[in-house]
Amino acid sequence: MNLMIKGGDKNQRKLAKKVVNYCLIPMNMSRLRRLNISMSIKKMNNCHGFCSEESNKRREYTIVIANNYNTIREFIETIAHEMAHVKQYICGGWNDEQEAEDDAEHWEKRIADDMWEKNLI
């Protein structure tokens, strides 16, 4: 996997990298040889984050995460949520928007809980 993170502060970039790398195993993406993620951490007023597919042939994805959070947990959950959308793009699981959001919400809670319980934060 190739991960490029820009924006945010040093601690936010470090935490974002840790969360993305953690997501790979439970989301069954650790064996993907080709996965390119560009992440941007910046102030956003209207949403917490979003994900877009840049090229399905080359597995290139862009994730934008808000840096203005009340808690670290919200930051972690948003990154995990957007990583779930990356997985959905790869697996073709983006047919029903509500189902995709429900799945992403499941992953955001699970990843945040796992990382907290394992004292990785």
pLDDT interval class at 96 (50, 70, 90): confident
CB contact at 8 A, 83 and 107: yes
Can you give the pTM of this predicted structure?
0.93
Mean of the pLDDT values across residues 50-55?
A: 90
Query: What CATH architecture does domain 2-117 belong to?
Result: 3-Layer(aba) Sandwich (3.40)
Listed range (30-34, 85-89, 111-115) with the worst mean pLDDT: 30-34
Does 29 score more than 70 pLDDT? yes
Domain boundaries, the chain: 2-117
| Amino acid letter, residue 79 | I
pLDDT number for residue 93: 66
pLDDT in tens, 31-50: 888 899 999 999 998 889 99
Number of neighbouring beta carbons within 10 Å of residue 44: 15
CB contact at 8 A, 83 and 20: yes
Backbone angles phi, psi at 67, to 5 degrees: -100, -5
